[in-house]
Amino acid sequence: MPKKKKMGVTVRQIVLTVVAVVVAMACQAVSDAIVSRIAHASRAECARITSGTEPRIIGQRDARRQLYRAVIAPLVARGSKQKIHPLLRVCNGALMYGPPGTGKTLLARWTAARMGETGGAFFAAGPASLQDKYYGETPKIITALFASAKMHEPSVVFIDEIDGLLGARGPSDHAPARELKTVMLTELSSLEHAEPPPRVVFLGATNRKHDIDPAILRRMRVHIPVPLPTARDRERAVATLLDKPVEDYRGWFGDITHGASLADIREAAKHAVAIANERDDDGGNSVSASDVRLAVAAILRSTLT
């Protein structure tokens, strides 16, 4: 009898083991599927941001200079054999901030191009890959992004519209949001304190700097303003978009577009082309100054008031 009992226990153990193995395999399959979806989403986002030819950026010279000084140059210098002054290890986190449509995402593409030129890597994530479809998986994406960046150093990890992801903590915070912030803080402090320092810089962009969690903000040591364009920049932008000499717009165009971003100017230029095309049916090639004035009135009245 004791023998039979022993046999029963053994069969039960075998059954339990088989069940455990099957469950583990199923979990692994699900987890693999999630990881591959994450990898796909991150790659897609990266491709979206870095695709196409290098963007032509109008103005934002200070922002470019700061990006170069704080993000690109230290990474590149640390990648070479030359002896590096310890103070060049200044920044593991930088934040571009400013009104919408001023070129923050373009500047990220510009940074990606500079990193590419020097053999560095660029990893990107934003609302498209982080928030909608993969809700709850975001901390895993962040961990995977930083792990890839460390594997391919020197590299930049870019997260666009970071306020949506890492807003200030509050009672309404739910578990995934809290977990995400914890993961981010862990990654940022590991960039800051690891020895030897990883040649990785975290770069964020936001329209709402003050909505970002203060603990995260503190770890992003360099804050790079990306302000609204000057009148001159708006005039250059419209002339470039409409393929006209900038003299045609000097003075008056800057005056009527006060406070507009270059994204607004682009919308106004598109509208002017549509007005010209409606009138002359010539593919929008006969845009006049009064078409531009009309378009500015129509587009900017709604965005600037």
Ligand X SMILES: Nc1ncnc2c1ncn2[C@@H]1O[C@H](COP(=O)(O)OP(=O)(O)O)[C@@H](O)[C@H]1O
Q: Which residue number has the CB closest to ligand X?
A: 103
Min CB(36)–ligand X separation in Å: 29
Give the Cβ contact number of residue 68 at 10 Å.
15
- What is the rounded distance in angstroms from the CA atom of residue 148 to the CA atom of residue 142? 10
Residue whose CB is less far from ligand X, 60 or 257: 60
Give the Cβ contact number of residue 298 at 10 Å.
14
State yes or no: residue 262 binds ligand X (CB under 6 A): yes
What tokens does 134 get? 């993969």
Min CB(170)–ligand X separation in Å: 25
Min CB(82)–ligand X separation in Å: 33
State yes or no: residue 206 binds ligand X (CB under 6 A): no
**SS3 (DSSP) at 205:** strand
262 binding partner (options Mg ion, ligand X, none; Cβ < 5 to 8 Å by kind): ligand X
Instruction: Count the site residues for Mg ion by CB under 5 A.
Output: 2
Residue from the set 60, 66, 138, 206 that interacts with ligand X by CB under 6 A: 60
Which amino acid, residue 176?
P
Residue whose CB is less far from ligand X, 38 or 242: 242
Residue whose CB is less far from Mg ion, 160 or 213: 160
Site for ligand X, residues 40 to 59, rule: CB under 6 A? 57-59
Min CB(46)–ligand X separation in Å: 16
Residue whose CB is less far from Mg ion, 106 or 201: 106
280 class by beta-carbon count within 10 Å (0-12 exposed, 13-18 middle, 19+ buried): middle
Site for Mg ion, residues 32 to 61, rule: CB under 5 A? none
Min CB(260)–ligand X separation in Å: 10
Residue whose CB is less far from ligand X, 38 or 263: 263
Q: Look up residue 228 and give its DSSP letter.
A: P
User: Helix/strand/coil (H, E, C) string of 165-187?
Assistant: CCECCCCCCCHHHHHHHHHHHHH
Q: Specify whether the CB–CB gap between 93 and 219 falls below 8 A.
A: yes
State yes or no: residue 126 binds ligand X (CB under 6 A): no
Q: Which helix (H) or strand (E) holds 71?
A: none
- What is the rounded distance in angstroms from the CA atom of residue 63 to the CA atom of residue 69? 10
30 class by beta-carbon count within 10 Å (0-12 exposed, 13-18 middle, 19+ buried): exposed
Min CB(203)–ligand X separation in Å: 13
Min CB(114)–ligand X separation in Å: 16
Site for ligand X, residues 84 to 123, rule: CB under 6 A? 100-106
206 binding partner (options ligand X, Mg ion, none; Cβ < 5 to 8 Å by kind): none
How many angstroms separate the Cα of 206 from the Cα of each of 95, 193, 211, 271? 8, 25, 9, 27
Residue from the set 50, 105, 129, 155 that interacts with Mg ion by CB under 5 A: 105
State yes or no: residue 204 binds ligand X (CB under 6 A): no
How many angstroms separate the Cα of 57 from the Cα of each of 108, 193, 205, 240, 248? 11, 34, 16, 11, 21
* Interface positions with Mg ion (CB under 5 A): 104-105
Residues forming the site for ligand X (CB under 6 A)? 57-60, 100-106, 262-263, 266
